[in-house]
Structure 1
Amino acid sequence: MLAHAFLAVVRADEHARYLAPDALIPLTCNEIQRLFITLVIRPVHDTAHRLGWSHWRRRHQARAQASHYQRQAAQA
């Protein structure tokens, strides 16, 4: 429970300080958790690899979200 509260505070702070680029969704609690685990707890790959993967994933999610909204608008 405390860990989720920490993630929620970090997410809110991130959203208040930085706007996500147009091609990315904002950081989510799950994404912050993944980054924290892979960068701090268990760094298997280098930092650049993990941050690049996170960027790719968020860009992919933004494209999927935009496609979903376009499909819903076309059906209305």
Structure 2
Amino acid sequence: MVDDWPLWWPGVRRVRRVDDQSGAFLLRSLLPFDLDHRPLFRANRYLLTYRGHRGLKAWLDGGQEARRVREEERRSGTRSE
């Protein structure tokens, strides 16, 4: 299930399973640099989780809608590459 996160969560760039209980993730949101406990960190985290919620809902509603949402975000420039 975690392996599917990049399919529906635009902020999850890569998933690597470490063992049965853990994994490593590469995450990116709007800002192209690391943040640590500043107001921008909270805003960036909010955007990342909001887009994850939206992507998961679309994925659960049929998968094709998730791909449409990602393509729409990619075209509008709201998704970081």
Higher helix share: 1
Greater per-residue strand proportion: 2
What TM-score, normalized to structure 2?
0.39
TM-score, normalization by structure 1: 0.41
Which one has a bigger Cα radius of gyration?
Answer: 1
